[in-house]
Structure 1
């Protein structure tokens, strides 16, 4: 079981649930094979001490298992694989394991202690029917779970898309405000020149300095543009505004084209998690030390390099190379989400911290 889990790049809940799901199917098939074996050996005089599982029943068991593998190959390679690989962790995984455990327990409970029990009355016929019903019910439960899990993952993805659309709407409104402020500034510049000319004629340098200082303070320093990609630009615009509210110096050099081959939702999730963690960590430090530096640029047209650096208060909990959440007990979700998306994309990520500086380096294929 441990070796099986180590070969996968999914959570423990998913790997254990999949293992139990396959085990439950084989348990139901084993019950059917036991019934077939009882039919084959019905006319044989076998004592209770003899092995009564015959070669024919073994062949039947292996054939049924092979048929199930072949029948499940296509759905497992498509819809099941898609749901398992989805970074959205559907809550149904937390309870799914209960179903195969129950079916495994029922099949183990059905095993007759004595061979002769199956030949009492209509027990053998009932055993066959019950085994078939269990197998069919189990498969129906799996189909229902697949549909429920798929819908939950789709809903989670729609929520993410709606979230980024709201960020784009917020970004658009902020841009409109900045453009309006710039238009107003251009409109007022003639009046500023007239006032400055009047002060210059009076030779009052102190009033000129005060006037220029006041006029400069009214000019918005809102970042109008980070990159050509609208989705990523919206994310950076949102978090730069949050950083400004918390008095965190935010410096970002983002070089991204408008169109990317990588999934934009996943890319925005990476940036959102990194920037949110950076802001939360910087807020806890002294205001004089706060800073967030970001560099994003393509490399050789097929790699995207991301470097996010921020200050932190020097307190980071890490267990088994997994960062622990500072807001609750358990693993930190943000960095683990970045790891998962990076691994899924065939990239690599590295997180280091030293002397009060946390650094995240990501390489993604584009």
Structure 2
């Protein structure tokens, strides 16, 4: 119950921060429109318009995976990433998740992205704060992979990351919740490190 309440509070904080970001952007655009109205030079006016258009595109719902639940989760996490100078990219066939329960989609992607975001916030160099999500099918399996830039060496206890100050964020109910959701579909969860990348990979058999 304590964990559930904590997760609800975290979600509230993220929603509040998302609203703040939108409000900041609203004021920025309003000021840009004032400047645009006063600009007489056609070239400068067009440059203003191009900049505004690019900024609006950056904040729109960028994810059209074919699964509206996944799109919503990704859009929400991306707004948080933008505020924290984290680059979140995704290549996903969301239609592969259409037979999965909504709660399980939120559990898997929400927890995995929260873990990755929490770690990337510790990376000092902003250009290295990278997270990539992929969803695809391969040899009869649904493959879900979360990758994030990782410094240091990943130590495992069994098949789970060992608890250390550097990677303790992988522990707790997040990873256990992911595993519980995945096992309902006879799937497995693997963690691994490849060079400077941490990988959380999920394999679930695809139904005929």
Tell me the TM-score range normalised by the shorter chain.
Answer: 0.5 to 0.7
Q: Residues of 1 paired with 2:74 and 2:54: CA distance?
A: 24
| Structure with more helix by fraction | 1
2:108 to 260, 267, 270: 270
Q: Secondary structure at the match of 1:288?
A: helix
Q: What's the counterpart of residue 222 of structure 1?
A: 59
Is 1:358 the counterpart of 2:198? The answer is yes
The SS at the match of 2:58 is coil
Matches within 5 A, 1:188-337: 198-200=40-42, 207=44, 211-212=48-49, 215-216=52-53, 219-226=56-63, 227-257=65-95, 260-285=98-123, 286-298=125-137, 303-326=141-164, 332-333=171-172, 334-337=174-177
User: How has the CA–CA distance of structure 1 residues 225 and 358 changed in structure 2, closer, same or farther, with 3 Å as cutoff?
Assistant: same
Residues 1:337 and 1:235: Cα distance change in structure 2 (over 3 Å): same
Partner Cα distance (2:141, 2:119) in 1 = 28
Q: Does the aligned pair in 1 maintain the 2:160–2:191 contact within 8 Å?
A: no
CA drift at 1:218: 5.2
Q: Residues 141-160 of structure 1: matches in 2 within 5 Å? A: none
Cα drift, residue 322 of structure 1: 2.0
Q: How many residues align?
A: 189
Residue 310 of structure 1: how far off its partner (Å): 0.8
Residues of 2 paired with 1:320 and 1:299: CA distance? 26
The change in CA–CA distance for 1:218 and 1:359 in structure 2 (over 3 A counts) is closer
Map 1:57-72; keep pairs closer than 5 Å. none
Give how far 1:326 is off: 4.7
Root mean square deviation of aligned Cα: 4.2
**1:1-57 CA distance string (max 9 Å, x none):** xxxxxxxxxxxxxxxxxxxxxxxxxxxxxxxxxxxxxxxxxxxxxxxxxxxxxxxxx
Is the 8 Å Cα contact of residues 284 and 313 (structure 1) preserved in structure 2? no
The answer for unaligned runs of 5 or more in structure 2 is: none
Kept after mapping to 1: 8 A contact 2:115/2:169: no
Partner Cα separation in structure 2 for residue 353 and residue 316 of structure 1: 6
Q: Return the TM-score normalized by structure 1.
A: 0.41
Could you tell me how far apart the structure 1 residues matched to 2:47 and 2:169 are? 54
- Structure number with bigger Rg: 1
Distance in 1, matches of 2:62 and 2:47, equals 30
- 1:343 counterpart = 2:183: yes
Contact residue 324 and residue 330 of structure 1 kept, 8 A: no
Query: Residue 309 of structure 1 contacts residue 357 of structure 1 at CA under 8 Å; is this kept in 2?
Result: yes
Unaligned runs of 5+ in 1: 1-151
Specify which structure has the bigger relative contact order, considering alpha-carbon pairs within 8 angstroms and separated by 6 or more residues.
Answer: 2
Equivalent pair of 2:96/2:142 in contact (CA under 8 Å): no
Choose between structure 1 and 2: higher strand proportion: 2
Change (3 A) 1:362 1:312: same
Is the contact made by 1:293 and 1:310 (CA closer than 8 Å) also made in structure 2?
yes
Relative distance call for 1:211 and 1:341 in structure 2 (3 A) is: closer
Q: CA deviation at 1:221?
A: 1.2
- Relative distance call for 1:330 and 1:293 in structure 2 (3 A) is closer
SS at structure 2 position matched to 1:257:
helix
